[in-house]
Chains A and B, each alone.
Chain A
Amino acid sequence: MNRQFFKDDLAFGWPVRGGLTAKDVASRLSQSRREFLRTTAGLALGTAVGSSSPFLRGEVIRKKRKTIVVTFGGGARDQETFAPEGQENIPHLINELAPQSSFFTHVTNQGILGHYVATASLTTGVYETLNNFSAVPPEHPTVFEYFRKDLRRPASDTWVVAPSNGFNRIGESNSRGYGPGTGAAVILPKHLLSATAPGATEDLDHLLRDNYETPLYTPRLSGGEFELQQLGSILRLSVADFMAHARTLSSPDELSVYIAKRLMQQEAPSLLWITMHDIDVAHSGAYSLYVEGIRRTDRLCAELWKTVQSEPEYAGNTTMFILPDFGRDSDFEPGGNGFQHHRTGDAASRTTWMMALGAGVRPGVVFDDPMQSVDLVPTLGAMLGFTPEESKGRPIKEFM
């Protein structure tokens, strides 16, 4: 297993100045998020609320509950988001979603900081060690498999919408007792485009193949008969309509959100997982494109939440989680190159946040206690009533 994109991790390079430990930095990051949210968005500290649980029990009838998880595959740092200088980039998250949410300021990812492997870890509740650049399934059962098995849900009740490369195997594991046919179907919007736009220009071809983490390597997509079938039978879209709409969109994430909305209308899955990826253009080193990606993702999260409010199957009974899979390197980490990568494993690259909003969630509360990204799956299990037996995470205590 050779993940050479981590090459610079082991650079002895330049000395570190300053005496903050990784723990100090992580703690300061979470404190700055908390203070910012308290002053700007008017959120209260969780420990100051009478009952610290972010969930309002008994509000939602479990069998009707819908859950949407939105991850950012391409972490965004505080200084471009929740820190004072970054707030201009996330007006929707700050002004519209945060006041409605329970906000967790201190989420750490102790696993491998590659997007596929980290997202796989988020779905299994175990820090997976698979090769980030191989199209292999997670080793441990996914949340989709637990959900379907324990709650006896059909395949149509859980879906993943994800960027193309590698993520096509994320819907189900190769774990004994689970595996093929027991998890979520995966829709890869870029594959749909690839199937419907043959003879694309070289630049479009690059966009469809790009995985950002390795800008020079663009594995060929295999969009074809299966993707066309997904368009027709599941999304109930003609190729012409799909292409006509795609031509109005500026990025792959906009296409992902369009597909997600279509899924909500046509299939109304109870567990929907969407992975955004535009922010990861940061790997190209162009800061302005990275910030554009953050602004677009901010807008798309709000757009998705508005859709939840307007869709009869989702309005009033949907809980949505938003979290980056991890952060990005600090400007001051000598082994990295600032926002461009997430290779060093420093506190800024491992520490991020999570927002929960909607049905059953106590709005306007900030929770400071550290949690890990692998805690998401057991938390979902506690909420929805399944048992993620192989997960290494723990349900977030405020949820219990």
Chain B
Amino acid sequence: MQPRELQAEQFSDYPPEAKRVVLAHLDALRELPLIFIPSLLREVIDYDFKFPAERFAIDRELASLSGRSQAQRRDQFQAFDRLSISPKLELYDWINQPAQFTEQLSAYLWSTHQLDAFRAAATEYGSRLQSEMPSEPLPARRLGIAVIGQGVTSFDGRLFKNLRGHGTYFNQIKPEHGLDLLLEGIDARSKTYSVPYGHWYVDGGQEANHSALLTCISYRSLEPVRKALLRDVSTEIEKPGMGPEELRTHLARLTPSDLGMTPGGDAVLDRFQLKVLTEGSGTQIFSTTFAQWTAREVLRRAQALTLLVRFAPRQRQRPMNELLSNSQGNSEVDPLGSLIDADMASYYHWINQQRLPGYDRSVFLVWFEGHNEALVVAPTLPRGATSNSALDLGQLLALAIS
């Protein structure tokens, strides 16, 4: 089916808010190229479970499309119009299964060597959209905090290698009560700048005591869900005809209640956690991956104003010879490997933060938990510098956001 044939009743299975949004912009949607529109509907269909920042972005994009003349829209999408699409994809139910459509489109673009052209068109579209719609000013500088190295008693290597050129390295930090001081700091921000889903605390292990004003996700609290997911996967992969692609489709259809998440909670947050576990590769297995990917998604989707991520030791990867010895269980953790994982993850945290509006004013702090090493990237602090100031974490945070 072609977009020009779209009718209101074809969106009857959409959740209420998603349906309202689509119907308000149906005329504009009818004029979009088929190769493009499912990518947009993939976002819209989940509108009811989106964070405020995502809803705002969808509303703004649709308003922009509706506000254009036919000629302007043709000009905007001509790069997409040059790409071909298979007859099989044209027949696909892209209205009700836009995510599955885009996955199949992706495979088609790879196999027909059109992926690079699609990427270029998408990048151009996104950049143009962004340039036409300046972002709203933030109520405060965006703040990212990474706490890495829990459980590591000593480390001889050089931490924060990727970030040192961008900020100031502190080597005399007083580690006492460091996590509490940081949590107090972000709690204070959450009270001062009230933003729905604006202030986050992600823990790769057991979460520490924290303010109820923070949106919190932890690896430990999701353990029942992770176990339910792995049980579900084990059952599914034994079924005839199951393969990686079929499994992926199955996972995409899971709902929070399928994995035992209690109904009546925060539906938006539950969906987010479900997606972290079903879409993130390795998030179900390694706590460091869970924390990194969750941070990425919190920034990308919720555009958090404040995000503290604390990494915990992940389970140890057992070598083959040990597995061949038939020893059971794997309760050991790998603190040193986890520190290296988290060091890289903190770099990605900063990169992802820099992709958001207000990046030129944003602040990032990373601390080697329990130790005296930290690094701050902030517009007010010199780059590539070293400081031997003896500060506690509360003082360091205050300096960073001053």
Contacts and interface: CB of A to CB of B under 8 A. Distances in A.
Chain A bound to chain B: yes
Interface of A: 1-7, 9-10, 12-17, 22, 85, 110, 112-113, 127, 129, 133-134, 193, 197, 200-201, 203-204, 207, 213-219, 243, 246-252, 254-255, 281, 283-289, 291, 331-332, 334-335, 337-341, 344-345
B324 interface: yes
Contacts of A252: 320
Contact of A287 (B107, B334, B340): B340
A187 B136 CA distance: 59
6 contacts: A2-B103, A4-B249, A9-B110, A216-B247, A287-B341, A337-B348
A285 B320 contact: no
B106 A340 contact: no
B355 A341 contact: no
Nearest to A246: B324
Contacts of B253: none
Contact of B106 (A6, A247, A339): A6
Nearest to A337: B296
Given A286-B289, A287-B344, A337-B293, A133 B123 contact: no
Interface of B: 39, 102-111, 113, 115-116, 118-119, 122-123, 125-127, 130, 161, 233, 237, 243-245, 247-249, 251, 279-286, 288-289, 292-293, 296, 300, 314, 317-321, 323-328, 330, 334, 336-338, 340-341, 343-345, 347-348, 351-352, 354-356
Contacts of A255: 320
B119 A344 contact: yes
Given A213-B244, A247-B324, A249-B321, 19 more contacts: A3-B107, A6-B106, A6-B107, A9-B109, A9-B119, A13-B300, A15-B130, A127-B113, A203-B330, A204-B324, A219-B237, A247-B321, A283-B282, A284-B289, A285-B289, A286-B337, A287-B343, A331-B348, A337-B293
Which of A3, A5, A203, A288: most chain B Cβ within 10 A?
A288
A340 B345 CA distance: 11
B323 A243 contact: no
Contacts of B115: 9, 345
B320 A289 contact: no
B282 A10 contact: no
Contacts of A331: 347-348, 351
A112 to B, nearest CB: 5
Contacts of A201: 323, 326-328
B394 to A, nearest CB: 30
A45 to B, nearest CB: 29
Contacts of A10: 39, 102, 105-106, 109, 118, 122
B248 A4 contact: yes
B324 A2 contact: no
The 10 A-B residue pairs with the shortest CB-CB distance in the complex, in nearest-first order: A285-B289, A288-B340, A284-B282, A285-B282, A204-B323, A4-B248, A288-B337, A250-B319, A287-B344, A129-B111
B366 to A, nearest CB: 15
B106 A291 contact: no
